[in-house]
Structure 1
């Protein structure tokens, strides 16, 4: 099994603790104030309503894992979703923008199940990119599907792998270039096979 985690599990757990503590403190403050101004029951209800979402979010964040086993990709958060690349029906690249961070992920659809594998995240404060072994294994798994459409995405990952291996600058890294080319003002956008194919061809 090859981990495909863009962010280390230890970092996710620390983030989860911060979210849980912050949500609990806010829920306590609002609940206590409501209890004083109205009645204890209202305060308790507000405490639960405000506190539960951050607790669920922190629980999911602490459990979040992505992995590759053969041709099967697994993603775990609150629940676990697995897709087998041999049953691949659609591929795309998802570029999302949240709080100044652009994240590039591989959008994989097999039958009725879709998972996203984060490949890189770029921000002014720094970058995160999937490590070389994970990129290599994911590219190999795409090739193993035998589907022509998967080959283009495999070539994209191999190009990124080579750029990372030689320490290329950001302006030479395919995933960064895809993220930079994404339209401003959109939280998320999907780049399909045609767009990725033209992009890969332009790198040759």
Structure 2
């Protein structure tokens, strides 16, 4: 039987499969953070190993130090590997050691999550389907400035949420559209919806979720 396949000629690079992955990241990779993580792991490992060594002997101290350093480096490595993408304009994909994904159109959980760490307030959208959940950071503010996801990403997220089976999807879509309008008008960060909505969360808590009712009322009050 004749071979009906079309082999690629020698020396020719096969075409790449088409991809549609848009990064969902507010920060760029920082090598200094990796160096700092290494130094912290070494210092803590040495300190704990020294304490155990005084009690249980040199061998016990060395083993403890090695285990602590290894665990801390593993945690830092996993955190550094965490990346988020928007695939196909509708699916959020998260990768750490493994990977997981949530289709925004089928998400049964949509919540706004606000974290406050060392004066940096992050406004995120927690999306979930069944037992899988992913937190997508939409904006990060410190004082009266900060960083936000780009126009293209917000536009695609808004479009995907507008087609969600979850009624809350339309509310979040309208929120992101209002954010885009504020940015197009050149409004300062404190006047933009995500900043204002994040400011509604009480201070002093590491992480908190805003009630859907509060988000709905806030979106309804926007021009």
> Do the structures match in fold with TM over 0.5?
yes
- Work out the number of aligned pairs and report it: 202
Deviates more, 1:64-73 or 1:21-30: 21-30
Q: Contact between 2:139 and 2:147, CA under 8 Å: does it hold in 1?
A: yes
Q: Show the counterpart of 1:93.
A: 112
| Cα distance in 1 for residues equivalent to 2:204 and 2:122 | 14
Q: Contact between 1:107 and 1:114, CA under 8 Å: does it hold in 2?
A: yes
What aligned pairs does 1:124-135 form with structure 2 within 5 A after superposition? 124=143, 126-135=145-154
Q: Contact between 1:74 and 1:83, CA under 8 Å: does it hold in 2?
A: yes
Higher relative contact order (CA 8 A, sep 6+): 1
Q: Show the counterpart of 1:73.
A: 92
Q: Which runs of structure 1 show a deviation greater than 6 angstroms over 4 or more consecutive aligned residues?
A: none
Counterpart check, 1:50 vs 2:68: yes
1:20 corresponds to which of 35, 38, 58:
38
Q: Show the counterpart of 2:25.
A: 5
Per the TM alignment, residue 57 of structure 1 is displaced from its structure 2 partner at its CA by 2.3
Counterpart check, 1:199 vs 2:218: yes
Unaligned runs of 5+ in 2: 1-20
Per the TM alignment, residue 144 of structure 1 is displaced from its structure 2 partner at its CA by 2.7
Per the TM alignment, residue 86 of structure 1 is displaced from its structure 2 partner at its CA by 2.7
Q: Contact between 2:144 and 2:189, CA under 8 Å: does it hold in 1?
A: no
What aligned pairs does 1:34-183 form with structure 2 within 5 A after superposition? 34-35=52-53, 38-70=56-88, 71-124=90-143, 126-183=145-202
SS in 1 for 2:171: helix
Per the TM alignment, residue 4 of structure 1 is displaced from its structure 2 partner at its CA by 0.6
Per the TM alignment, residue 34 of structure 1 is displaced from its structure 2 partner at its CA by 4.8
2:203 corresponds to which of 184, 190, 203:
184
| Cα distance in 2 for residues equivalent to 1:117 and 1:63 | 15
Q: Show the counterpart of 2:6.
A: none
SS in 1 for 2:108: strand
Per the TM alignment, residue 35 of structure 1 is displaced from its structure 2 partner at its CA by 3.9
Q: Show the counterpart of 2:10.
A: none
Per the TM alignment, residue 170 of structure 1 is displaced from its structure 2 partner at its CA by 2.2
Higher helix share: 1
Per the TM alignment, residue 99 of structure 1 is displaced from its structure 2 partner at its CA by 1.4
Larger radius of gyration: 2
| Cα distance in 2 for residues equivalent to 1:169 and 1:32 | 51
